[in-house]
Amino acid sequence: MKSNGKVVLLTGASTGMGFEMMTRLAAAGYRLCVLSRSPELLRSDLLGGRWQERIDVFGVDLKERESVDKAVGETLELYGQIDVLINNAGFGLVSTLEEVEDSEMLEQFDVNLFGLVRVTRAVLPTMRRQGEGVIVNISSFLGRVGLPLLSFYNASKYAVEGITDSLRLELAPFGIRVHSVMPGFFSTQFARSNLRINAGIEQEDSPYRSLSRRLAPKVLRQINEGNDPRLVAEAILKILENPEAPVRIPVGETARRFLTMRRELNDKEYERRVMEFYGIETE
């Protein structure tokens, strides 16, 4: 896909990987329409920037169908086309299954999965009429492997992978490609702005307090010492510019290591290595 004249609709670009995707795609010649929950803040961050003229920002609440439809409609009014959809918006819930609040787990899926579905559903009629398009879902290596305290984030990303696989088959007759990018841990603001911690696991009387004390610092350190988020933007460009690009692309050392272990080891050996790495003890 040549970038000239192509319009990219991107969700979740205020920080970290999303911001890097936005600026890298603009630099490559794409026109960006960004859907953000904090549009004024993002516009302020872009003010005076080199690629500001190639980027338009619209406010959206991914949990509301009317808000999503309005934002997609504004994009079409402005450009008349949508050639690429990148579903990047999401957050991570840190909680045990036992202690999670209903509101927490429902919001995890409402944003990470159903928000993705709402935006994709709103874009598909346009792509079908065009007879072409590319959809890239930003998943995670945690969409294929599990980690404790991230059960609901894991589950939402597993679901994104399932949606990706089914949607590829549904949309192939219309000339629409569907891919996923599976980042590992990256040095972004994700840990500061996109992680939400269940209050229960921080209580001294939580039966999982010992586990959370061991695991959380290691995960945060992996994020802070993670890979450059530009690698994710480069993976997206690879997908856009190569019709034969892989269905899914793992990005970063953590993603490749964990996904390789999960593929090559049996369940028992894989779990043993994860528990050993994160210091998870059994009685």
- Which of 14, 140, 151, 180 is labelled catalytic? 14
Active site residue 157: yes
What is the rounded distance in angstroms from the CA atom of residue 25 to the CA atom of residue 51? 10
Other Cβ atoms closer than 10 A to 262: 15
Active site residue 153: yes
What is the rounded distance in angstroms from the CA atom of residue 73 to the CA atom of residue 62? 14
What is the rounded distance in angstroms from the CA atom of residue 150 to the CA atom of residue 188? 18
Q: What is the CA radius of gyration of the chain?
A: 19
- Which of 153, 158, 180, 212 is labelled catalytic? 153
For 239, the enclosing helix (H) or strand (E) is: helix 230-241
- Which of 157, 158, 180, 208 is labelled catalytic? 157
Which letter does DSSP use for residue 37 in this model?
Answer: S
Active site residue 14: yes
Active site residue 139: yes
- Which of 3, 36, 95, 139 is labelled catalytic? 139
Locate the DSSP E strands across 185-259: 195-197, 248-251
Catalytic residues, by residue number, are 14, 139, 153, 157
